[in-house]
Structure 1
Amino acid sequence: MTSPTPVPFSEPPYLSGLPSPYYTESHRRWQKKCRAFIEENLLQHAMEWEREETVPDHVFTTFAKANMLIPALPAPLPVEWLKKVGVDDILGQPVEEWDYFYNCIYTDEMLRSGLAGPSGSLTTGIAFGVPPIIKFGNRQLQERFLPELLTGCKRSCIAITEPDAGSDVANIKTTAVKSADGKKYIINGTKKWITNGIWTDWSSMAVRTGGPGAGGLSMLVVPLKGYPGVTMRRLKVQGQISAGTTFIELDEVEVPVENLIGEEGMGMSFNHERLTIAIGATRQARVALGAAFEYCLKREAFGKTLMEQPVVRHRLSKCGALLESQWAWVEQFVYQMTRLSKAEADVELGGLTAAAKAHAGIVLNECAQCAVLLFGGNGYTRSGKGEIAERLYREVPGNKIPGGSEDVMLDLAIRQLVKNYKNKTKMLDRPRGSSKL
């Protein structure tokens, strides 16, 4: 059970008794219901399932029946489609009243174990694989796929990354060529590091339908599990093991041209994925720092507790400042998402979201490293008191790399800010030959 007095840094300020301008009474009521559901059906078994490297199938079914996969979708929710498939509310919260703070609460609660694998095994597919169909798919595409995806009868994933194209999405080589009769796309290529891929029925896949560069990329709904020409195998990765990281080979895979998402050459957006990673990584940093703080109150060395050592307090303080600053930035982003249209958010927040995602990885690295050092030998051991610190330190790269690697994200942030600034200041440009000050 949660202590009535949280360990410092172990909970967001709004859950530690401090006032917040962001969370309404409705948000707070739903957070309590959300926490109770996730604790019962996920968190109490998360470490066990991560050790076993898989989450039992019945857990996905439990979440699907309770509509608790839907919160992984970006707000506002696809109300028309949800109503059509019989989803009116999520733990009592009407879907039409859903805003991005519910998404934030959900993501934060799902990561309270500190482990991204168990939660990622359930939500990554619907969080990132289904939105392209909702936002850009035409009516026939939505009617064919959304009913079973939204109700959890079928599973999805986002299949972008390849052996030679990670953050460099424009270098994707998997091809989709139309058949002679124009009725099918013939797909050939490989996808690598695809989370949830091994369980996926229908993926939203980036393919090359045109020439080189980003302008030649399109998105298709591509069947995976048991489909002719598709071969899949799980990859052994450093962290987030139970999330089902997958290598996919596509050999003359045929899909109808009606499976095109949007239009050819339309490309894709990663803002929801990056903000979700930023929220989750910040909670993981909180778990690491909270565990270290609690340990330092009890562990004795040199005749006193670790917390009585100035150097220990200094480490905790530096990491705490980073953590709470990052969380304040995350909440600011979420608030802005509730006030801007999607078109405005894509322009104004695209670059900054990349920076926030990158910085979340930096903060997690600092907090996880701090936890390992303060746990000492226990933090270097894959069992016992410091197991959570050891595992969290191995999960750091799983936040720094996916969704765009750290250095690429930091560079993208500045390039986007420069682009926006130039677009907004064009009116200040003087025509050639004009006088200068």
Structure 2
Amino acid sequence: MASKELRVLTLEEVAQHNTEDNLWIVVDSKVYDITRFRNMHPGGASVLMDEGIPGQDATEVFYSLHRHEVLERPQYKRLQVGIIQGQEPKIHATIHDGAISKVPYAEPSWLVDGYYSPYFTEASSGSSHRRFQVAVRKFMDEYVYPDAQARELDGKRPSQSVIDKMAEVELHAMRMGPGKHLKGRTLMNGVVKPEEFDYFHEMIISQELTRCGARGYGDGMNSGCVIGLPPVLNFGSPELQARVVPEVLSGKKFICLAISEAHAGSDVFGLQTTATKTEDGKYWIINGTKKWITNGIWADYFTVGCKTEDGFTVILVPRSEGLETKPIKTSYSPAAGTAYVTLDNVKVPVENTLGEEGGGIFVMLSNFNHERWVMCCTSTRGQRTVVEECMKWTTQRKAFGKPLNSQAVVRSKLAAMIARVESGQNWLENVTYQMCNMSYREQSNRLAGQIAFLKMYCTRTAQDTATDAVQIFGGRGITQSGMGHFIEHYHRTVPFDALLGGAEDVLADLGVRQAMRSMPKDARL
């Protein structure tokens, strides 16, 4: 269908269309005929007849009430009948079009022109982080963002078509971090070689995915794989890896981590799920329950923590007879697939044991650092999105005849938000650099406390930022649609980060205890 030809009009011509039966307005140099739309306007027809709107330039009024994305919707694009002679559109809202935002502090400094980084390589480099970021953002904006917005609303699982697209460019494999599992794979259509891929590349993936602003969907987008598959990669037998890893990284099968229970969350040793061997020693018989299991609803495999005769053991359990899942309703979207899992005499071959019997704590400790680090990546990026929303809103929204950002109290809140996100990002980049230069064992010994502190800091500052953002947006900040819907969503879902991967207080204590173990014996005041 051919697009209609737009007329070139003057402001004087538009001004003649100012009645209920012939109503035009101008928004950012574009002329819209809203005559028939008037009675469908969600705010009521009378709003559109207010003084200063009929036949006039309503740009300022529009952006005080609506997001730019409204104009991008097909049903509203069809209302455009012309453009204003001699004018060009002035507003570019960087609505997931792959561009770098020009709003101050909306991007980490390494992406901003004129700034430098000791960690991220530029486009001229062979293993360019910048070139990789461009490719990942384009992919996320084109394929993931639209699906994220739709699934967050309808609560359905992330679309298999998007999962398949991610598999085509090996995003599932890259989200496991650098390692031997990347060997022979073509990463992001060859933008980075497997041997060059590092934790900064992985950080880029996590932070670009977070820009979708859909918390439940974000967890539903194979987060179970990010935390459930590494124990298989690092501790599974070669035969188990050969069978499970390819089908999971291809997006054909799904996996989750099943550790927490109703009686034991951060207290791993308090688990009550048991695994006992059959008399012939060939199988485990598993009984118990697991709670708050991300992606559990549609998982084909469950990386399960069990109490065994030798202590705490981790076992890979396929969905089979005796294993059932049911959804848990939480503050965020069912798109996360959060599940309550029951295991009733589930029979699993002993070959599915991950690591040594009784050595499950080592399997999980090696996993916890990476899981918490990923959450730090997503938390800092989520805060930055809130900063951008607030910077835009306080510029375009007027109160008492002036922009919101003319008020010192509002600027004070913005200052605190910016300071928190910048400090979190810079601490994160330092820790990431250490990860790139330490072995897995060194990371476990040296970074467990650092990452625990960082996660505690990120999640606490995130909640402060969420509270400040709601105050800035006012009633819109608690409304699930319209101008403040990202803020409402963020404020409602941000507590998840403070609990998943270890509660804040537990992680803070972990960091201090690790520091105390390293105290020199001869240290005195």
TM-score (norm 2): 0.77
- Supply the distance in 2 between the matched residues of 1:69 and 1:144 (Cα, whole angstroms): 17
SS at match of 1:21: coil
Deviation at 1:115, TM superposition (A): 2.3
The runs of 5 or more residues in structure 1 that have no matched partner are: 430-435
Deviations 1:35-83 (A, max 9, x none): 0011111113322221111222222122122312112102235245xx3
Q: Secondary structure at the match of 1:22?
A: coil
Select 2:117's aligned residue among 3, 6, 20.
20
**Which of 198, 203, 208 is the equivalent residue of 1:109?**
208
What residue in structure 1 maps to residue 321 of structure 2?
Answer: 228
**Cα distance, 1:294–1:22 mapped onto 2, change above 3 Å:** same
Q: Distance in 1 between matches of 2:187 and 2:493?
A: 33
Q: Distance in 2 between matches of 1:112 and 1:200?
A: 25
CA distance in 2, matches of 1:240, 1:335: 34
Unpaired segments ≥5 residues, structure 2? 1-96, 123-127
* Equivalent residue for 2:420, pick from 322, 329, 337: 322
Match of 2:512 among 396, 404, 414: 414
Deviations 1:194-224 (A, max 9, x none): 001111111211111136xxxx111111012
- Corresponding position of 1:45: 147
Structure 2: which amino acid aligns with 1:253?
A: V
Provide closer, same or farther for how the CA distance between residues 139 and 45 of structure 1 changes in structure 2, counting only shifts above 3 A: closer
1:401 is aligned to: 499
Tell whether 2:237 aligns with 1:135.
Answer: no
Q: What CA distance in whole angstroms lies between the structure 1 residues aligned with 2:101 and 2:228?
A: 39
1:146 corresponds to 2:239: no
* Length-normalised TM-score, structure 1: 0.92
- Aligned structure 1 segments of 4 or more residues deviating by more than 6 angstroms: none
Q: What SS is found at the alignment partner of 2:447?
A: helix
The corresponding residue for 1:301 is: 399
The reply on whether 1:365 has 2:451 as its aligned counterpart is no
- The structural deviation recorded for 1:407 is 0.8
Maintained 8 Å contact 1:187/1:254? yes
Q: Counterparts of 2:334 and 2:111 in 1: how far apart (Å)?
A: 29
Percent identity between matched residues is 38
After the TM superposition, which residues 16-415 of structure 1 pair with which residues of structure 2 at under 5 Å, given as runs? 16-17=112-113, 18-25=115-122, 26-54=128-156, 55-80=158-183, 83=184, 87-92=185-190, 93-210=192-309, 216-224=311-319, 227-239=320-332, 241-266=334-359, 267=361, 268-269=364-365, 270-415=368-513
Following the alignment from structure 2 to structure 1, what is the Cα–Cα distance between the partners of residues 246 and 147? Answer: 30
The CA deviation at 1:308 is 0.7
1:161 Cα deviation after fit: 0.7
Q: Does the CA-based 8 Å contact 2:98-2:137 persist in structure 1?
A: no
Q: Which deviates more from structure 2 when the two are superposed, residues 361-370 or residues 51-60?
A: 51-60
> Aligned Cα RMSD in Å?
1.8
Give the number of the structure whose residues are more often helix, by fraction: 1
Q: Distance in 2 between matches of 1:335 and 1:110?
A: 21
Aligned to 1:433: none
Query: Take 1:288 and 1:331, find their aligned partners in 2: how far apart are those partners?
Result: 20
Alpha-carbon distance change, 373 to 410 in structure 1, aligned in 2, over 3 angstroms: same
Output the CA distance in 2 between the equivalents of 1:32 and 1:39.
11
| 1:416 to 1:241, Cα distance in 2 relative to 1, 3 A | farther
User: Highest relative contact order (Cα 8 Å, sep 6+), 1 or 2?
Assistant: 1
Q: Is the 8 A contact 2:137 2:208 kept in 1?
A: yes
- Aligned equivalents of 2:472, 2:309: Cα separation in 1: 53
Amino acid at match of 1:204: T
Query: Could you tell me how far 1:397 is from its partner in structure 2?
Result: 1.2
